Amino acid sequence: MRDDVMSGSYRCAAIHESRQWLDCYYGAAQPMRAALGLKPVPAAQANLSVSPPGGSGLPNDVAVRDAVMSAAASCTNAGDDRQWLDCYYAAAQPMRATLHLSSAPQTKPVLQQPAGAQAASEFGKEVAAPDISANGIQSRMASYRFDALGVFTVTLENGQVWRQVAGDTDHAHWNKPASRYFVSIKPGFLKSYNFQVRGLPGLYKVLRIS
């Protein structure tokens, strides 16, 4: 459920207007709310997270959105799913402040380490300090698998495990031994990660799971 929520929130990046983006971010929380038996989000918010409208050019609040998504990613340290959801809502405070909205009452997000504090071995993990070198990482695949929906999970030779974001609409069609594929993973827009295989078309959004 946490991955589903984060996948939905990444889709909101297509929205240009700040308040609409915030509504989309809140709408993305519906899978977790449903799992916890909480009242559903408003229909308008849910619709935004499922099918966000596009906009022209970069929004003016990229830095604010970046702060929200960074704080939301750090919520992985929360103990249970309700605490995680509270943290996810609290992560939106920078955008609420920008829009001059009242502060949300939810739990404060987990504090982040200073920029640059994350070791290379922690690249991409949903933990503190998301500021990573633009060079990213490169590694050969050790194994890969696809689920029933065609979403891939890849284990790299360096031991890291990456899974394609559920909301990503592109699908890989690998059929050769894993060792034949060399992977490049780099930071993307709003704290996302871009996954590419050398010599093949396709750019995929991924999350590190191990």
CA 181 to chain centre: 24
Amino acid found at 198: R
Give the pTM: 0.53
pLDDT computed for residue 176 by the predictor: 94
Distances (CA, A) of 13 to 8, 54, 68, 120, 184: 10, 9, 12, 27, 23
Q: pLDDT tens-digit profile of 31-51?
A: 999 999 999 999 999 898 888
Average pLDDT, the chain: 81
Residue 188 pLDDT level (bands cut at 50, 70, 90): confident
Task: Check: CB of residue 121 under 8 Å from CB of residue 137.
Answer: no
> Residue 106 carries which DSSP code?
S
Q: pLDDT tens-digit profile of 76-126?
A: 777 788 889 988 998 898 888 888 887 664 444 444 444 344 455 555 554
CA 73 to chain centre: 7
Residue 146 pLDDT level (bands cut at 50, 70, 90): very high
Six-digit token string for 133 = 């070198």
pLDDT computed for residue 70 by the predictor: 83
pLDDT mean over 147-155: 89
Six-digit token string for 46 = 């849910």
Q: By CB neighbour count within 10 A (0-12 exposed, 13-18 middle, 19+ buried), where does 176 fall?
A: exposed
Task: Check: CB of residue 23 under 8 Å from CB of residue 45.
Answer: yes
% of the chain surpassing 90 pLDDT? 32
